[in-house]
Chain A
């Protein structure tokens, strides 16, 4: 059972986001493992563990040969990682990212399952996993709340508007998992030490055989024309509860005629 997990390395969400003058997202500080992808990593480790054989390979696309997020996921227990880092990828949209990831996944031979998060914390387009599936021409199930594998079949509870759908697919397949699907483990000290010597391949776009003219700014097929502050909502009255705070709320609701 070999599982590839797409993990994104992102600026710390605790820092306020900012755009570069060319409208790309600022990513020059240290990048960390997207929390949304810790669920995919944990799920992959559990599935491999249950199967009793195989390994977890990480795939990531990030600027500046950033590896700290990958080391974090390797410390959780993944066996190896492939990083694609290339200046031509500045301005890459979701489809470009998917093309690069699909090509990188192609380098990880003999996989049974590709896992991803349903949406990243910084881009949250929510389209990359399904685009990767389309590029690899694989079946896919998105928004997985539960994942189980038996007899070369992946069984998934897929989140829906009204509840969930019980789905299944033969392997290989692409599955995107929601936050909270499993409890991601914290890397142990031993894991952190071991991660330092695990194989980590850094590739460029040309190593992958992807045409640099069709990804990044060159191929995005979209152009940012304006960035401006959204109209702000005014704050109203803030009062300290002196034991009568509830009465203030009743009065407010009364004024709105919702009682």
Chain B
């Protein structure tokens, strides 16, 4: 028995649909013939792409006038559900706004939301999600037992995005009811950090540095190597927290999930929270001076050595080619 209807949260940055939304749409299509999207904003910029990825309809709130996504979109969804338009499953990305909306909606509907999943399946009449725990060493499967709709958020890169060849999604209004004082928080201004080169979570090669680099200035080696390999630089949380690089570089549980063709980890120990973000890479190269470093447990090629010796020579060798 397929699910009769699924709603997928459409995450948008600067008029562009986040890849996680398209990944989730691809999965949703395998579970139901009726996949619809919803967006906390206008639909014009997204209806076509959503349709091409299998959403037949997009429920759009229109401009939220700086209001926060969580409280407004959740109130709108709850009203639609109360009005009789309930799907079996609502899928979110584990993104900032995705989690806010899911959390607010779970209170509105008094139903649990299960986050950090990397898979979902139908088991008889129930919906079962899979969540990797303890740094991805074990998988916990949880069944929803509170009735429709089930609320679930998924980690990036859990599924592969794929076009379905559909036409533009039909646009439906998602009316936002008055949320009272809870809606008083406002976004005044958006600040976009300029980045060059491929995006961290889309690059074919990712070169990440950790505390083993010793000091902030040495991150230049990571940037140089990434540029030579036409890849993106990444980082462990240790050096993000230390302020060496911006948060947007962070790979791991609380950062980006990457699955490049090659991941190079330099001076990174391989904490479980880092590994959940990169273990799915097709090939992993690690450079660490400690032969016992856990990162070697997942590396296809491990070099026990000093980053200050290996990286300059590697950069030189690549420049010479």
Q: Which residues of A come within 8 Å of B, CB atoms?
A: 16-17, 19, 23, 93-95, 98, 118-119, 124-131, 133-135, 137-143, 145, 157-170, 173, 178-180, 220-230, 233, 235-241, 243, 245-250, 252-253, 256, 258-259
Contacts and interface: CB of A to CB of B under 8 A. Distances in A.
7 contacts: A124-B253, A131-B103, A145-B247, A166-B188, A173-B185, A237-B300, A258-B261
Given A125-B115, A140-B70, A165 B140 contact: no
A138 B301 contact: no
Interface stretch (B35-43, B49-57, B211-219, B313-321): B313-321
Interface string B278-321: 01000101010001000011111111111001110110011001
Contacts of A119: 254
Given A248-B303, A249-B301, A252-B285, A258 B205 contact: yes
Given A127-B102, A138-B181, A140-B71, A249 B142 contact: no
A127 B299 contact: no
B18 A137 contact: no
Interface of B: 11, 13-14, 18, 68, 70-71, 74, 94-96, 99-100, 102-104, 106-108, 110-116, 123, 128, 132-134, 136-146, 180-193, 204-205, 229, 237, 240-241, 243, 247-248, 253-254, 261-262, 264, 279, 283, 285, 287, 291, 296-306, 309-311, 313-314, 317-318, 321
A24 B120 CA distance: 21
A259 to B, nearest CB: 7
A178 B240 CA distance: 12
A141 B114 CA distance: 21
A249 B314 contact: yes
Nearest to B191: A163
Contacts of B132: 230
B70 A130 contact: yes
A170 B115 contact: no
Contacts of A127: 99, 102-103, 106, 113, 115
B106 A249 contact: no
B299 A238 contact: yes
B189 A166 contact: yes
- Identify which of A93, A118, A178, A225 gathers the most chain B CB atoms within 10 Å of its CB: A225
B5 to A, nearest CB: 20
A168 B303 contact: no
A222 B291 contact: no
Nearest to B111: A221
Contacts of B95: 161
Given A169-B186, A249-B310, 11 more contacts: A127-B99, A161-B13, A164-B193, A166-B188, A220-B112, A224-B141, A225-B128, A238-B301, A238-B303, A246-B314, A256-B262
Given A126-B99, A140-B70, A162 B304 contact: no
B141 A246 contact: no
A180 B241 contact: yes
A178 B247 contact: yes
Contact of B304 (A130, A134, A169, A238): A238
A16 B271 CA distance: 12
B253 to A, nearest CB: 7
B171 to A, nearest CB: 24
Contacts of B192: 162-163
Contacts of A118: 254
Given A167-B188, A245-B305, A246-B317, A226 B99 contact: no
Contact of B240 (A16, A180, A245): A180
Given A180-B240, A235-B298, A228 B138 contact: yes
Contacts of A126: 94, 99, 115
Contact of B229 (A128, A167, A247, A253): A253
Nearest to B94: A126
A163 B261 CA distance: 26
A170 B145 CA distance: 38
B139 A230 contact: yes
A226 B140 contact: yes
A138 B179 CA distance: 10
B104 A134 contact: yes
Given A236-B299, A259-B318, A139 B103 contact: no
A153 B264 CA distance: 45
Nearest to A241: B305
Nearest to A157: B191
A233 B279 contact: yes
B71 A225 contact: no
